[in-house]
Amino acid sequence: MAKVFIIGANGFVGGHLIKEYIDNGYEVIAGDLSDEFRYSFPATYEKVNILDKENLKSILEKYEPDYLINLAAISSVGLSWKIPDETIKVNAIGTINILDAIKEIVPKCKSLFVGSSEEYIQKDRPLKEDDALEANNPYGISKITAENLARMYANSYGLSIVCTRSFNHTGIRTSR
């Protein structure tokens, strides 16, 4: 059974994505900051802080996942204005820690890093994928940085990485 490690699992998206993976026959290892898994899905839960590379490495050594999805982030533009330093730290440095841990422990693991439409600036027309990334808030800039780091690790070390620039989504359990 293929194994997927989902970080930021206690968040809004985690609750939906984990169910999707379980329903499709994957073994899920869910990780987040708190002691307890927020959801009741049949997944293994590990407390993890993406600012702690040794913590990340030990989890990758223990489970050797085939896939890793990073949802962990300071995920609000408004909050990012209040704590810009923490936003850059979690969203960018946290991304380097994950990339480094993958490179060292499970270099064949395929990973997905969730970026944001906030990497663009608003236009008076629908955005195009190849529009310039000109974010004008700390959250958007942190996500551009994370995406650039992921590209660098893919190009320099041959890691298999997908990045998204997701637009806002909503549904049950959203906090926004």
- Chain residues that interact with ligand NAD, rule: CB under 6 A: 7-8, 10-14, 32-33, 48-51, 71-73, 75, 90, 94, 114, 116, 166, 168-169
Which amino acid would we find at residue 95? Answer: T
Pairing of strands 27-32, 160-166: unpaired
Q: Are 13 and 114 in contact (CB under 8 A)?
A: yes
Minimal distance, residue 42 CB to ligand NAD, in Å: 19
- Of the pair 20, 156, the CB lying nearest ligand NAD is at 20
| Tally of CB atoms within 10 A around 102 | 25
Specify the DSSP element, H or E, that contains 113: strand 110-116
Question: Residue number with the shortest CB distance to ligand NAD?
Answer: 11
For ligand NAD, the closer of residues 91 and 105 by Cβ is 91
CA atoms within 13 A on the CB side of 164: 10
For residue 139, the minimal CB distance to ligand NAD (Å) is 7
3-state secondary structure of 16: helix
Q: How far is the CB of 175 from ligand NAD (least distance, A)?
A: 6
Residue 9 or 159 with smaller CB distance to ligand NAD: 9
Of residues 26 and 95, the one with the C-beta less far from ligand NAD: 95
In whole angstroms, what is the distance from residue 154 CA to residue 157 CA?
6
- In whole angstroms, the minimum distance from the beta carbon of 118 to ligand NAD comes to 7
Q: Which residues contact 162 (CB under 8 A, 6 or more apart)?
A: 110, 111, 112, 113
Residue nearer to ligand NAD on the CB measure, 16 or 103:
16
Burial group, residue 96, by CB count within 10 angstroms (0-12, 13-18, 19+)? middle
CB of 140 to ligand NAD, least distance (A): 10
